[in-house]
Amino acid sequence: MAEVVLQDISKAYGTTRANDHVTMTVPDGAFVVLLGPTGAGKTTCLRMIAGLEQPDSGDIRINGRTVTNDTPAQRNVAMVFQQYSLYPHMTVRENLAFPLRSPILRTPEEQIKRKIGEVAEVLRISHKLDNKATQLSGGEMQRVSIGRALVRDPNIYLMDEPLSSLDAKLRADLRVELKRVQEKLGATLLYVTHDQIEAMTMATHVGVLDHGRLVQFGSPREIYERPVSLYVASRLGLPRINMLPADIFAGAPSRARTIGLRPEHIAQGSGKESKVVRVEHLGDQTRLHLDLEGHDIVTLTDVHTGLRPGDTVAVEPRAPLYFDGDGARIA
Ligand SMILES: Nc1ncnc2c1ncn2[C@@H]1O[C@H](COP(=O)(O)OP(=O)(O)OP(=O)(O)O)[C@@H](O)[C@H]1O
């Protein structure tokens, strides 16, 4: 596989800056997840690496070689889209073989057979190889779509929300499978998602986009624990980070405007009094919705808590994050 470098890439559609001076290295063998709300520029970034869009300025390098003006085929990247795009009249086996039969690759039949066998096993579709694509469930079709990328040996796999059309159970299963496959193959992967659980569990690196700008790039843990801004802090974490005026508790740095409290940053038992608004029992965790001087906050509590709406709980911050008036983190 390969290292992919974006050097000062910009792309505008009219007045919309879809990518704005993006510089990012996807290391060889990394699983990089791009996060950002709708319109942040994630898909544009992927399409430029694939060669489906041309940047207005900047360079793209694959393994040290500039590919900015190469065709998609010359770049040898494999892309998986959100919606499966299979050939309906072909069987699963034929769909999987299709990318390998391209005139450029000229893969020997024996190798095609072996590769299909391997990928079908990994994706647990071996028993469906002779089915027509139309005879599959949505989840199976998406597995075949992913399989069509995996049979190849590209420089990088580009995946645009490949699991978003699947139900929760299948998503969770495929999340684990994809990560396993990536580790096994030592594959380089750039993956777009809105789903922060996918980001936290699969990524070796997370890139956060805001209106086309890459505002932070680091390990999921860095992004979670040391976000550069309120914007980044609110991209990861469930329940979301609580944001309150900094002076609500004593001890804020003088320039701080906002205190950011992740659910685990709220200690119960002493401090300021808050009122229980709602207790949500989710099975493996119990969320406590509190009213703290007119501000809604959410924290976690003992799974079998006896707290009820209307009760009073004292709360205080533990290792909170502080942000200035522009939303930049200062402590
Ligand atoms: N072909 C196009 N023509 C005009 N504007 C476009 C085009 N493609 C993207 N855009 C605009 O560029 C911006 C970035 O779009 P992009 O699809 O990259 O965002 P995204 O982060 O992938 O969003 P989503 O999560 O909704 O897929 C958006 O404002 C979008 O409307």
Query: What domains are there in the chain, each with its CATH number?
Result: 4-229 (3.40.50.300), 242-323 (2.40.50.140)
Distances (CA, A) of 152 to 30, 77, 79, 112: 18, 9, 11, 10
- Contact residues for 272 (Cβ-Cβ < 8 A; gap 6+): 248, 249, 292, 293, 314, 315, 316
pLDDT-flagged residues of the chain (< 70): none
Nearest alpha-carbon partner for 42 in 163, 194, 253: 194
Rounded to the nearest angstrom, the distance between the alpha carbon of 93 and the centre of ligand 1 is 34
CA–CA gap between residue 134 and residue 136 (Å, rounded): 6
Among residues 89, 9, 7, the alpha carbon closest in space to that of 56 is found at 9
Identify the residue whose C-alpha is closest to ligand 1 atom 7: 13
40 lines ligand 1 (CB under 6 A): yes
Three-state DSSP state, 25: strand
Amino acid at residue number 153: D
Q: Using the atom order of ligand 1, give the atom closest to the CA of residue 36.
A: 21
Handedness of CA 174, 180, 184, 189 (dihedral sign): positive
Q: Is the peptide bond preceding residue 239 cis, with omega within 30 degrees of 0?
A: yes
pLDDT in tens, 138-179: 888 888 999 999 898 899 999 999 988 788 888 888 888 889
**Torsion angle, alpha carbons of 84, 87, 93, 96, to 10:** -60
Atom of ligand 1 nearest to the CA of 34: 21
Dmax over Cα atoms in the chain, in whole Å? 72
ipTM of the complex: 0.96
The pLDDT, as a whole number, for residue 99 is 87
44, 47, 198, 210, best to mutate for ligand 1 pocket (most atoms within 8 Å of CB): 44
Q: What tokens appear for 53 in the block?
A: 């869009």
For the chain, percent helix, then strand, then coil, each to nearest 5? 30, 35, 35
pLDDT for position 28: 96
- Please give the full DSSP string across 115-148, using - where no structure is assigned: HHHHHHHHTT-GGGTTSBGGGS-HHHHHHHHHHH
From CA 107, how far away is CA 317, in angstroms rounded? 60
